[in-house]
Chains A and B, each alone.
Chain A
């Protein structure tokens, strides 16, 4: 398969689009946790109960469509190879938990891959909806409509006082986790982000580095999400998150301006060095790749590099994960082999831009 073809299939259609504030917010996501009232939750349910839940979904939702979300396809985890599951995890279409509990779990994916409804994850149902850029309100509105659509056929576990009942007490109430993925290179470089995180935490929001171990944020990519799900309405939760993200966007823009103003030659040097590494290296670890891709993306956003599309960061951060590298290589790879493959995939990908 050619690289172009591979990328086309690997990257979800919605990821190739830009949304509002796409220079900083990579994606917005709403996740709703729901359960069947009549069945025990997956964590203690017997396999035959889970298979009933799964069969019910297959019967009622396989190949159905809802508005923009067409032709839902039920993908059973047990039908997939480990590397295929890993690829779905790297695309954020399923959680690692779902991949690990494969016997009677599945996901229902819309054709445009914006919606993934996980079945028998920690809860019976987990609805996930993505939008490119900063579009939390729209994501909430549509996720709620999807939820209504499912509720026509599923008797949800709901209690007047506690709200939507979930396996974990941290999700009860709205069952909603709203999150945005942000690229914050200037706030990271100037270390301002470290001072901002505790303040954001105090507002009941969680900031974590994505694609990294522990608190480290690979590629300056951060995920901000709500912690509280009980006692506040969905709209209020999203509004709180929205206002914090808006401020982070403003701060990041200011920090970029300051950097450009005060130390533009240093910044330019850093960006072009990273570009040099990406176009020339023969061995590259994921950590270095993420750092360089983040710099490259900043260079594109600042107009220093103009022949490469912005989506390169989202695209290559995902494509250079172990699962994708192995799928492209069509064989399993040791970490050392992956570093070689990663370097060559990035070089090839950047060359595609030169030809066009």
Chain B
């Protein structure tokens, strides 16, 4: 039997996968099995990366489900313009290549991040002093707004008024900041 991937070498790896009662058989050579991730080789330890890339792949169609040999493997063309890392490579190594990769793969990141970080997708921590720019100001405004809502609920209107004025003055500051940059 020849390998269904390369159609050159004999198939030495035979896989049977049953998904929802549907049986799929895959017959490939060792090399194609390795390339397509059907096999874990002894010398490559199962690492966190493997686990992670497993997560990434599960985003797309499963490599087995409803695949006919002709359409597999699916081609990925998404590529980071800055460092040249493709989404496929990212999924394989489980690592980003540069800061721009985060923008490049943005559409696909939320499900991955949600899995890794217990449902979270947005940063809620420290903002760097220089790089953060006016984010500090924005964050401060957000915090005052939350505070304002609480004060209104507690019917502490005097305090709420002070809080509202503070938000206004911070927002003015923010607008001046943004105006100044242009």
Which A residues contact B (CB, under 8 angstroms)? 35, 37, 39-41, 43-44, 122, 144, 147-148, 151-152, 155-170, 172-174, 176, 204, 228-234, 237
Contacts and interface: CB of A to CB of B under 8 A. Distances in A.
Interface of B: 48, 52, 82-83, 85, 93-99, 102, 109, 112-113, 116-132, 135
Contact of A37 (B93, B119, B122, B131): B131
A148 B122 contact: no
Contacts of A163: 123, 125-126
9 contacts: A40-B98, A122-B95, A151-B129, A158-B132, A169-B94, A230-B123, A231-B117, A234-B125, A237-B125
Contact of A230 (B99, B122, B130): B122
Nearest to A32: B126
Contact of A173 (B96, B119, B123): B123
B96 A41 contact: yes
B52 A174 contact: no
| Residue of B48, B125, B129 ringed by the most chain A CB atoms within 10 A | B125
A122 B93 CA distance: 12
Given A162-B102, A174-B123, A167 B129 contact: no
Contact of B125 (A161, A167, A168, A173): A173
Contact of B120 (A151, A168, A232): A232
Secondary structure at the B interface, as helix, strand, loop or mixed, is loop
A71 B93 CA distance: 37
Secondary structure at the A interface, as helix, strand, loop or mixed, is loop
A227 B113 CA distance: 12
Contacts of A156: 128, 131
Nearest to B83: A40
Nearest to B48: A170
| Residue of A156, A158, A232, A233 ringed by the most chain B CB atoms within 10 A | A158
B122 A231 contact: yes
Contacts of B98: 39-41, 44, 157
A51 B78 CA distance: 29
Contact of B126 (A122, A168, A174): A174
A16 B48 CA distance: 34
Closest 10 CB pairs of A and B: A231-B120, A163-B123, A157-B99, A230-B117, A174-B125, A40-B98, A40-B83, A233-B125, A44-B97, A158-B131
Given A40-B83, A155-B130, A165 B99 contact: yes
B131 A233 contact: no
A43 B122 CA distance: 24
Contacts of A169: 52, 94, 96, 109, 112-113, 116
A165 B124 contact: no
Given A170-B48, A172-B113, A230-B121, A158 B128 contact: yes
Given A41-B98, A161-B122, A151 B117 contact: no
Given A162-B102, A170-B116, A172-B113, A155 B131 contact: yes
Contacts of A162: 102, 109, 113, 122-123
Contact of B130 (A152, A167, A174, A204): A152
Contacts of B131: 37, 151, 155-156, 158
| Residue of B82, B93, B117 ringed by the most chain A CB atoms within 10 A | B117
